[in-house]
Structure 1
Amino acid sequence: MHFPVPPEGDWLTIIADLQPYVNLNDFSNELDILALKDGVRFIDDILMNGEGMKYIIGEDYPWPMPRDSDEEMDRVILDRSQTGFHPCGTTRLSQDIQQDVVDPELRVHGTKNLRMINASIIPVIPDCRIQNAVYMIGEKGADIIKDAHPSLYKGRK
């Protein structure tokens, strides 16, 4: 399995339509396609030439592999690649209403009672698992809601 480096810059999301366009900025770094191409060829070589593997999986598992054409290999990689990064950053946290979706109180900009309390508020895709960060976001969100409604949570921890 081969993964590109995290995207440089921001994700581009256009929500002005019923079918929004989301650009994850994958392959924004030229080295990504080169690394994936080498990785795919390496794995393909193991599968096709490894002891006994070619007899198990067949010639074109899981699809025909353009072994001799860089251009075709690029196309196959771009067509079939998917992210391995945990979903986050889709409703980023910031005070800048032009750039991001939620404020420091985890409220969606322009709303009074709608909050996002999940991984979507993480502004940058981390190079690690996000489970602990998501727990922290949940705890912080719970504290924010309790602080906003003290009469409901009086005497509770």
Structure 2
Amino acid sequence: MPVTLSPLPAGRVDLIADLTLPPEQHEFSAPPAQALAKARGRRDGHLIREGDHTVGFFGIDPDYPEAHDFAEAGSIGLRMFSIDHRHQGRGIASAACRLLRDYLCQEYPQAHACYLTVNHRNPRARAAYLAGGFIDTGADYLGGGAGPQHILRLALTDTPAG
């Protein structure tokens, strides 16, 4: 079935309430509903769907550059990206990442880039992001609670990094 992305409708956190992660991934991310509830600042929720089923979630932080000096003004941040444990290992994360550029350009036309950080000990997630067109900046983010993280950037326009 095709993988699609769509905004989480306002007030519909119930759509992600059943998404869970295996225990070994909890150090990198809480289950989506918990992560969204604990998020500081504004987060726009987005669903990852396979056919009629919600199989994953991600948040967009429109104020990402305010908290991360490596992200230039006019960029956004990808946070809380996760695939439900029952649907992992089937290429859904990579498929969703390949859709991100066009989707984010449509949903955030003012943004020229999207940043994220991914833990050094999470190579599968890093590989999915790279498959989706993110570029490793070569720099590390050291402010994460679970150790050093790669800083990745996805160009949303042809505007060079500032």
Q: TM-score range by the shorter chain?
A: under 0.3
Q: Quick check: which has more Rg, 1 or 2?
A: 1
| TM-score computed with the length of structure 1 as normaliser | 0.26
| TM-score computed with the length of structure 2 as normaliser | 0.25
